[in-house]
Amino acid sequence: MKNLTSTQFERLKLDAKKQARAAGIPLHKAQDNIANAHGFSNWALLSKFAGPVGSNVIQRYTFIRSVDEMRSAMRNQPDTFERIPGRHARPYVTVPDIWDKFRSPQDVVEFAIDYVTTLLTVPRFQVGRRSNVYWEMRLWLPYVVETAHGTAQLLANREYKPVGMDTTQHVDYGKFTAFHTKMSAEQIEALSHRPTGYGYLYGDSPWSSRKAAEIYLKRLLKLRTALA
């Protein structure tokens, strides 16, 4: 497929929005439907390989992984008692820092939606506690909306660090302005898992079961709406 012009690409984006409203489905699902119709498995791939050439628009950091690759990443790796100084993830997995890839909290949430959506395409849902996916979900996905500075909040991972960061060192949330949000208390309350607490996006870990992952995805979609 030839690269789309900017006008053609914007038309597809508009078509996706119309389809989402008409069918009552999430925008990301409508975008994937449009991509499928043009020979791509998802919107991210269409944007990457058929998007406008020479566009000045900076593409957001996108999670792309095939079902087979995700299935492999869910498997346990050989155990080791070694630790990497200053990091939570164990040396038997490869989970790089990606926090500096995100330009906004919206980027964080879109990445998380892509990740969980891909995870749910794997037929047999079983995430090993010594797998890449286990640590990726702890480090790369938002767990809680934390107070950052003044009235600003920050999306933090399961280790209470900016999403995408793996460190055991103290982090000053106020310095990570790209992650800051300005949601109202009512918005945060609406997406919180209340048994866990205000601002928390899950109780049962989304890597523990398919149902937990599906519930987490619904909260991510609520978070996306709150940040829009």
The residues spanned by each domain of the chain are: 1-57, 60-227
Considering 31-45, 144-158, 204-218, the range whose residues carry the highest mean pLDDT is 204-218
Mean pLDDT of the chain: 87
- For the cut 80, the answer to whether the pLDDT of residue 84 exceeds it is no
pLDDT of residue 56: 46
pLDDT of residue 29: 82
- C-alpha neighbours within 13 Å on the C-beta side of residue 21: 5
pLDDT of residue 74: 94
- C-alpha neighbours within 13 Å on the C-beta side of residue 70: 20
pLDDT of residue 10: 83
Average pLDDT over every residue of 22-40: 85
Average pLDDT over every residue of 137-141: 96
Rounded to whole angstroms, how far apart are CA atoms 177 and 180?
A: 5
Q: Is the pTM of this model over 0.75?
A: no
The per-residue pLDDT for range 197-217, each reduced to its tens digit, is 889 999 999 999 999 999 999
Q: Please give the angle made by the CA atoms of 7, 12 and 14, to the nearest 5 degrees.
A: 95
The per-residue pLDDT for range 85-136, each reduced to its tens digit, is 677 777 778 888 999 999 899 999 999 999 999 999 999 999 998 899 999 9
